[in-house]
A and B are shown apart, each in its own frame.
Chain A
Amino acid sequence: GTSVVVYMVPQYSSIHIAAVVVSMFSTIICGFLFLLVVKRLPEHVQVDDPAVVKRLAKKLERQQIPLRSDYGYKVSLFSHLHQYSRKAPLTQLLSIPSTVIHPSIVRLGLQYSQGIVAGSNARSVALLHAFKQVIRDYTTPPNEELSRDLVNKLKPYISFLNQCRPLSASMGNAIKYIKKEISNIPSQCKEEEAKTKLLTCIDRYIEEKIVLAAKAISKYAIEKISDGDVILVYGYSSLVNNILCEAFEKSRKFRVIVVDSRPRLEGREALRRLVQRGISCTYVLISALSYILPEVSKVFLGAHALLANGYVMSRVGTSQIALVARTYNVPVLVCCETYKFCERVQTDSFVSNELDDPDDLMVTRKGKTQLENWQDVSSLGLLNLVYDVTPPDFVDLVITDLGMIPCTSVPVVLRVKNLDQ
Chain B
Amino acid sequence: MEECLVEYFRTQMRTDPDMASAVAAIRTLLEFLRRDKGETILGLRESLKWATDCLTEVDSSVAVSSGGELFLRFISLTSLEHQDLSRCKKVMEERGELFLEKISLSRTKVAKLCHTFIKDGAKILTHSSSRVVLRVLEKAAAEKKRFTVYVTESQPDTAGKQMADALRRLNVPVTVVLDAAVGYVLEKVDLVIVGAEGVVESGGIINKIGTYQMAVCSKAHNKPFYVVAESFKFVRLYPLNQQDVPDRFKYKADTLRTVSDLSDEHPMIDYTPPSLITLLFTDLGVLTPSAVSDELIKLYL
Contact = CB atoms under 8 A, between A and B. Distances in A.
Interface of A: 224, 298, 329, 331, 333, 393, 396-397, 403-406, 408-409, 412-413, 416
Interface size classification for chain B: 10 to 19
Contacts of B202: 396-397, 406
Contact of A408 (B236, B240, B244, B290): B290
29 contacts: A224-B240, A298-B240, A331-B240, A331-B241, A333-B240, A393-B275, A396-B202, A396-B240, A397-B202, A397-B238, A397-B240, A403-B236, A404-B201, A404-B238, A405-B201, A405-B293, A406-B202, A406-B274, A406-B290, A406-B293, A408-B293, A409-B290, A409-B294, A409-B297, A412-B293, A412-B294, A412-B297, A416-B297, A416-B301
Contacts, number: 37
Given A333-B240, A405-B201, A413-B297, 16 more contacts: A329-B241, A331-B240, A393-B275, A397-B202, A397-B238, A397-B240, A405-B293, A406-B201, A406-B290, A408-B290, A409-B290, A409-B293, A409-B294, A412-B293, A412-B297, A416-B297
Contacts of A396: 202, 240
- Point out which of B203, B274, B275, B294 has the most chain A C-beta atoms below 10 A from its C-beta: B294
- Point out which of B203, B290, B301 has the most chain A C-beta atoms below 10 A from its C-beta: B290
A3 B201 CA distance: 46
Interface string B237-265: 01011001000000000000000000000
B71 to A, nearest CB: 20
A155 B236 CA distance: 44
Interface of B: 201-203, 236, 238, 240-241, 244, 274-275, 290, 293-294, 297, 301
A107 B297 CA distance: 43
Contacts of A405: 201, 293, 297
Nearest to B301: A416
- Point out which of A331, A333, A412 has the most chain B C-beta atoms below 10 A from its C-beta: A412
Contacts of B294: 409, 412
A4 to B, nearest CB: 31
A404 B202 CA distance: 9
- Point out which of B201, B244, B274, B293 has the most chain A C-beta atoms below 10 A from its C-beta: B293
A359 to B, nearest CB: 42
Nearest to B237: A404
A329 B241 CA distance: 9
A406 B275 CA distance: 12
Nearest to B297: A412
B249 to A, nearest CB: 15
Nearest to A404: B238
A32 to B, nearest CB: 35
B240 A406 contact: no
A396 B204 CA distance: 12
Nearest to A393: B275
A276 B62 CA distance: 42
Nearest to B201: A404
- Point out which of A331, A404, A409, A413 has the most chain B C-beta atoms below 10 A from its C-beta: A409
A187 B99 CA distance: 50
B5 to A, nearest CB: 29
A192 B301 CA distance: 39
Nearest to B240: A331
- Identify the 7 closest CB pairs spanning chains A and B, nearest first: A331-B240, A408-B290, A409-B293, A404-B238, A412-B294, A406-B202, A406-B293
B244 to A, nearest CB: 8
- Point out which of A333, A406, A413 has the most chain B C-beta atoms below 10 A from its C-beta: A406
Nearest to A392: B290
